[in-house]
Structure 1
Amino acid sequence: MTILNARNLSLEEVQRLFGFQEQYKDSFSPLLSLEPLLESEQYELLQIRDDFRRYLTTGKVSEGQVKFLVLAPLLRLAGFYRYPIEIRLEENIAEIEVEDEDVIIKGRMDILACSKAKHTIANAYFWVLLIESKNSQIDISTGFPQLLTYAYKGIDNQQSVWGLATNGRSYQFVYIEQGNSPIYHLMPLLNFMEPPRAVELLQVLKAICQM
């Protein structure tokens, strides 16, 4: 039996092991309905972006800083801290094990948002959003193998799940769904430093939270 760490897998290996098929979508609709932001939300969004920009100008922003400076306030603003959503972090998420024939893949996701009001077929909390974060100088595509590995475990019990890979500046949402060959849909890439895309980012997070 071969034991692998999800952090060390390439996207090619994940696609081969789990049979993932990649597709692109040029819009978040019809999967999500994006609603206009309140003026207060737009103001707070601007504050989050300006705080993060100040750190970017000094050089690399670490993965921990990305979580603290950007992800935490964005998730709060989008409603992820309110019932029935529960946020779980890496240190309090049980290690994920994915077994494929003679290979076991282990790892822990960075952030998991689940719903305590909705259950899967295995009577577990419904996974709403998986997040894999990197430092500001790492390409977000390096987070795809881990994100897809953990999502593959999640779609054992539910039809689909949303994923997000980010380095604080760039945000790549991925919609992962079951199938004979599971599919992951790459959604439009959003740059947090561009005002229209920052607004769209918060709209997407709010829509996922309210599903």
Structure 2
Amino acid sequence: MPLILEANSLSLNDVHRFLQLEELSIGSFTDFLNLETLTEFEQQDLLRIRNDYHRYLKYGKISEGLVKFLTIAPLMRLAGFYDVPIRLTMEDSVAIAVEDEDKRITGRMDILAINNPQGNIAPPFWILVIETKNSAIEVCEGLPQLLTYTFKSLQEQPSVWDLATNGLRYQFVYLKREQQPTYQLMPLLSLNESGGAIELLQVLKSICKLVSFQE
């Protein structure tokens, strides 16, 4: 019987070792994405999301579930992730067999956005994987889980985007299938900063539009 490991118990060093993932230097969004100017409506909606989050933060720590409700859900709707042919799933279980190791890593993804056009593509194209934490936890603590879950998609597609967030800070990660799989952290974005919040929505919109290349 293989040894069963939970993804939320792994360190970043464990992930590097078990999955043979290599970390590259910090990347730039514009190397991979086309960031479009936001409309006045989008900027006003973004401001409401920021204000809602800060109103709740004044009362103390915001739970993981409330982070999803206050920030992730409205941001993804505004970015277009609720539109056809994208389908969102939550708390999906995932298991990864570790090559050359008598181990199996299991866990549950918080949010997964896939391309699910009519007629269905098998397997579906993973657009974005999101790992959320409560507001008191640093986003870097979600990286081992996030990388582990997303690694599975590289068996079927050349690259995928990840996002770890605590509602205030947003860490995007770009994974790429190569001879040795690699990942790049992108610049950390903050909902608290006007420029960071705008870039956050621009990035989400651009990632959402990647689905058009898979139809």
TM-score by length of 1: 0.95
Whether the 8 Å CA contact 1:165–1:173 is kept in 2: the answer is yes
User: Which aligned pairs between 1:145-164 and structure 2 lie closer than 5 A?
Assistant: 145-164=144-163
Whether the 8 Å CA contact 1:118–1:126 is kept in 2: the answer is no
Could you tell me how far apart the structure 2 residues matched to 1:11 and 1:181 are?
17
Percent of aligned pairs with the same residue? Answer: 51
Report the residue type matching 1:28 in the other structure: F
Report the residue type matching 2:180 in the other structure: S
User: Which aligned pairs between 1:32-181 and structure 2 lie closer than 5 A?
Assistant: 32-90=33-91, 93=92, 95-100=93-98, 101-117=101-117, 123-181=122-180
Alignment match, 1:210: 209
Whether the 8 Å CA contact 1:89–1:112 is kept in 2: the answer is yes
Report the residue type matching 1:54 in the other structure: R
- CA shift for structure 1 position 126: 0.4
Whether the 8 Å CA contact 1:190–1:197 is kept in 2: the answer is yes
Report the number of matched residues: 207
Whether the 8 Å CA contact 1:24–1:187 is kept in 2: the answer is no
Could you tell me how far apart the structure 2 residues matched to 1:44 and 1:96 are?
34
- CA shift for structure 1 position 29: 1.1
Alignment match, 1:183: 182
- CA shift for structure 1 position 180: 2.2
Could you tell me how far apart the structure 2 residues matched to 1:177 and 1:26 are?
12
- CA shift for structure 1 position 51: 0.4
Secondary structure class of the residue paired with 2:56: helix
Could you tell me how far apart the structure 2 residues matched to 1:8 and 1:140 are?
15
Alignment match, 2:14: 13
- CA shift for structure 1 position 151: 1.0
Whether the 8 Å CA contact 2:27–2:184 is kept in 1: the answer is no
| Larger mean Cα displacement after TM superposition, 16-25 or 129-138 | 16-25
How well do the aligned residues superpose, as a CA RMSD in angstroms?
1.6
Report the residue type matching 2:94 in the other structure: I
Could you tell me how far apart the structure 1 residues matched to 2:116 and 2:97 are?
27
- CA shift for structure 1 position 157: 0.7
- CA shift for structure 1 position 181: 1.6
Whether the 8 Å CA contact 1:173–1:188 is kept in 2: the answer is yes
- CA shift for structure 1 position 57: 1.2
Query: Mind listing any 5+ residue stretches in structure 1 that lack a counterpart?
Result: none
- CA shift for structure 1 position 118: 9.6
Alignment match, 2:193: 194
TM-score by length of 2: 0.93
Could you tell me how far apart the structure 1 residues matched to 2:28 and 2:18 are?
29
Could you tell me how far apart the structure 2 residues matched to 1:45 and 1:208 are?
17
Whether the 8 Å CA contact 1:119–1:126 is kept in 2: the answer is no
